[in-house]
Amino acid sequence: MRKIILGTITVLFALSAQETQPSCNHCSGAYIAKSEIAAYLKRVPAGMGVSDQQVRAFDVGKTHVDIGVVYRGKLTGTPVVAEHDLVSEVYHIIDGSATLVTGSDITGLKRRPPDDRAVRLLNGPGGNGAAIRNGATFELKPGDVVVIPAGVGHLFTRIDNHIRYLMVRVDPDKVTPLKDEAASRADLRAGFDAGNRK
Per residue in 43-73, pLDDT (tens digit) is 987 777 889 999 999 999 999 999 999 999 9
d(CA 124, CA 169): 11
CB neighbours (10 Å) of residue 154? 20
Residue 120, pLDDT score: 94
The answer as to whether 152 is a domain residue is yes
Counting the structural domains of the chain, the total is 1
Task: State pLDDT tens for residues 80-131.
Answer: 999 999 999 999 999 999 999 999 999 999 999 999 999 999 999 999 999 9
What CATH code is carried by the domain that includes residue 53? 2.60.120.10
Residue 194, pLDDT score: 47
d(CA 73, CA 50): 6
The answer as to whether 59 is a domain residue is yes
Instruction: Give residue 64's domain range.
Output: 48-196
Task: State pLDDT tens for residues 128-169.
Answer: 999 999 999 999 999 999 999 999 999 999 998 999 999 999
